[in-house]
Amino acid sequence: MKSLYTSRLSNHLTEMFKYLRLVFNDYFVLALLFLIGGLGYSYSNLLKTLSGSEWWLMPLCIVVITLVEQLGNLATLVKEPDFVFLLPPRGSNVAIF
């Protein structure tokens, strides 16, 4: 099972690295670094201004977190099962229903 997972992971990573090499060039990474830094700085300033006594903060946080969670996709390494791997070993007394 461990070798099956490592082979699927290595195949997935080599496929992703082919595209990431083209997408994340130096200037894009530099611009992304400044963008994330600016967003983090403005977010920290926003948190300093909130007092927590407003009634609308909790529903707003729930709505924002729910919307952010809907943006991404669940990424797994699950594929169709390997039928040879799932077969019981020879000589075993396992009944297949």
Here the tokens at position 75 are 């990424």
Here the tokens at position 41 are 């700085």
More confident: 42 or 86: 42
Q: What is the pLDDT of residue 34?
A: 96
More confident: 45 or 84: 45
Full-model pTM: 0.41
**8 A C-beta contact, residue 88 and residue 94:** yes
Instruction: Express each pLDDT in 4-61 by its tens digit.
Output: 888 888 888 898 888 887 777 778 888 999 999 999 999 999 888 877 788 888 898 8
